[in-house]
A and B are shown apart, each in its own frame.
Chain A
Amino acid sequence: MPRAPVANLWQGILPALVLMAGFFLLPILYTLGLSLTSEGAPGLTLANYQNFMAEATLTDALLRSLILALSVVAIATLIAWPLAWYLAFCVSARRRVLLLFVLVAPFWTSFTIRAFSWQMVLADSGIVGTVMRWVAGPDASLGFLYSLPASIFGLTLFGIMLITLMIYSSMVTIDRRLIEANAVLGGTGWTAFREVVLPLALPGWIIGAALTFIVAVGDYAVPTLLGGGLQPVLAQVMLSVLKGTYDLPMAATLASVLVIVILLCVAPLLLLVRGTRLQS
């Protein structure tokens, strides 16, 4: 076997390293640090966080972001498990590619355009509202657009796609003989799911749920276009600070709160992945 020519192969990572360190890692660390400073006060201080906790509009926004993200993950999970099962075990391999494509394709286009198209459908004057007036009379009003449930709805569709995809990728790697063994031992479809598929596909769900949570808790387009501006989520408050008062330490604090929320909610999930890996 010919020996590889001598070369400093690690040099290949240099451009990526410079980019990621200089424009991703340092900015985020700097932002976290900035949230601990305050104009007029030297040194590090928790004043920004105390101000955050004392301001009801901010804590309300945080609460809404949490309700939004957790509801999206919960509802999407309930729909994603059966969908992934269907894709992994009920259709032929050829058809599977087509169906996966059908599910994923709409999400290649921007959140903004998809959220806007839902605005047209969900508005009181939109398709759903019009059908409702045909069915329930001219006084029927949908009143769904510009509310937290409308934001939840919009992001849940994204969550269904992502979580289904992740669970599915775990399910297809499961050795079919395990499921056959379950059937030979008298197991039904339900026990096959509970005893074999669920534990083995759980890591896929965890990754899908974590990514969905992150997108939902940090999204700005859907809460603005479907949720409206009267009951803002954290992301909307953040943007209005940055485009309005331009109070950078405040913006940094809101961003840091988002980081903390994500770490608190996602870290237990990731520990769970590690736990399931150790078991199997």
Chain B
Amino acid sequence: MTGAITTRALALLFWVTAAVIYLPIGVMAVFSFSTARYQILPIPAYTTEWYGRVFTDGQYSAGFFNSVLLAGSVSLAATLIGFACAYSLVNARFPGKTAFTMLVLAPLAVPLLLVGIALRIWTTMLGLQPSLPLAGVGQVLYVLPLAVLNLRNRIAQLPKSHEEAAWALGASRLRAIIDVILPACRASLIATFILCFTFAFDEFVIAYFLTNFSVTLPIKIWTTLVTGFDPTINALGTMVFAFSLILGVTAQWLLLRKDR
């Protein structure tokens, strides 16, 4: 129904858009191997010095360590809370279910900046000091909608008969969840964990507002960018991009594989 010429034009539009989206990342990757401190063309010589510096500069490695720890805890918490929530949403009836679902999904429709500011004002009122764990709580509610949506879809797809067979054999609800539902959701759970990790690892605004002195990798990158340029950022940005890409691909692949 679409003419050959139109199809060609549409394909061209697609690839031009893709090229524009990828252009700066490619440029960043190329410059990350340049010996020059600034982005000058042609590139004088190639080096891996900046990559080495990412690992030897204590602030970057401290930021990386904090980020992995924070994103790991956040994703674990979001996956567990999300699973419990998703199972109840699929199987239980309770008053206010629609309102509750909207509340859980609401962070998708609210700017992160707003979540960050509101949390900062709220925790100041409660007398809580800004800290990494506090930033973690904020990040859990930011990635929770992803976890709930993923796991709800998966649990809703499961054949009811497996769980019913467990009940017939005398298993309690909880026993059946642990022995039947959890194993059947294994790939989705791993995918959800990885997906939440990807987003929490890169999350900047909430962490920036809710910590004072602890530095995560995105905060370190940000402060480096606004206070002056450091070519190490090219190498770091390229690595973070590759890292996010690998995590994202793995998560999507696990989700598409449908637990088999």
Q: What's the tally of chain B residues with a CB closer than 8 Å to chain A?
A: 94
Are B17 and A79 neighbours in the complex by a CB distance under 8 Å?
Answer: yes
| B interface footprint on A40-60 (CB within 8 Å = 1, 0 otherwise) | 000000000000000000000
Stretch at the interface among A14-22, A136-144, A271-279: A14-22
Are B114 and A218 neighbours in the complex by a CB distance under 8 Å?
Answer: yes
Are B81 and A16 neighbours in the complex by a CB distance under 8 Å?
Answer: yes
Are A19 and B92 neighbours in the complex by a CB distance under 8 Å?
Answer: no
Query: Of B113, B141, B205, B237, which is within 8 A of A113 by CB?
Result: B237
CB distance from A33 to the nearest CB of B (A): 10
> Is A264 engaged at the interface, CB distance under 8 Å to the other chain?
no
Closest 8 CB pairs of A and B: A218-B111, A12-B88, A9-B92, A27-B122, A117-B24, A110-B202, A86-B10, A7-B173
Are B114 and A210 neighbours in the complex by a CB distance under 8 Å?
Answer: no
> Is B40 engaged at the interface, CB distance under 8 Å to the other chain?
yes
Where the two chains meet, the residues of A that have a C-beta atom closer than 8 Å to any C-beta of B are 1-7, 9-17, 19-21, 23-28, 30-31, 34, 79, 82-83, 85-87, 89-90, 97, 99, 101-103, 105-106, 108-114, 116-118, 120-121, 123, 125-127, 130, 157, 160-161, 179, 183, 189, 192, 210-211, 214-215, 217-221, 224-225, 235, 238-239, 242, 248, 251-252, 255, 258-259, 262, 266
CB contact list, B1-60 vs A, under 8 A: 1-3, 6-7, 10-11, 13-14, 17-18, 20-25, 27-28, 31, 38-41
Given A16-B148, A28-B118, A248-B124, decide whether A90 and B109 contact each other with a Cβ distance below 8 A: no
CB distance from A95 to the nearest CB of B (A): 11
Kindly name the residue among A17, A23, A103, A123 whose own CB sees the greatest number of chain B CB atoms within 10 A: A23
Are A86 and B14 neighbours in the complex by a CB distance under 8 Å?
Answer: yes
Are B22 and A5 neighbours in the complex by a CB distance under 8 Å?
Answer: no
Complexed CA–CA distance, A31 and B118 (Å)? 6
Query: Of B13, B25, B112, which is within 8 A of A218 by CB?
Result: B112
> Is B107 engaged at the interface, CB distance under 8 Å to the other chain?
yes
Which residues of chain B have C-beta atoms less than 8 A from A5's C-beta?
Answer: 167, 171-173, 176
> Is B178 engaged at the interface, CB distance under 8 Å to the other chain?
no
Given A16-B82, A20-B103, A106-B22, decide whether A82 and B245 contact each other with a Cβ distance below 8 A: no
Given A2-B167, A10-B94, A116-B225, decide whether A218 and B41 contact each other with a Cβ distance below 8 A: no
Given A83-B17, A211-B108, A224-B226, decide whether A127 and B209 contact each other with a Cβ distance below 8 A: no
CB distance from B245 to the nearest CB of A (A): 6
Kindly name the residue among B17, B114, B209, B218 whose own CB sees the greatest number of chain A CB atoms within 10 A: B114
| A interface footprint on B137-177 (CB within 8 Å = 1, 0 otherwise) | 11011001000100000000000000011011001111010
Are B244 and A120 neighbours in the complex by a CB distance under 8 Å?
Answer: no
CB distance from B129 to the nearest CB of A (A): 15
Complexed CA–CA distance, A200 and B51 (Å)? 50
Complexed CA–CA distance, A123 and B92 (Å)? 55
Complexed CA–CA distance, A235 and B40 (Å)? 33
Which residues of chain A have C-beta atoms less than 8 A from B248's C-beta?
Answer: 105, 108
> Is B62 engaged at the interface, CB distance under 8 Å to the other chain?
no
Which residues of chain A have C-beta atoms less than 8 A from B118's C-beta?
Answer: 24, 27-28, 30-31, 255
Query: Of B6, B117, B225, which is within 8 A of A31 by CB?
Result: B117
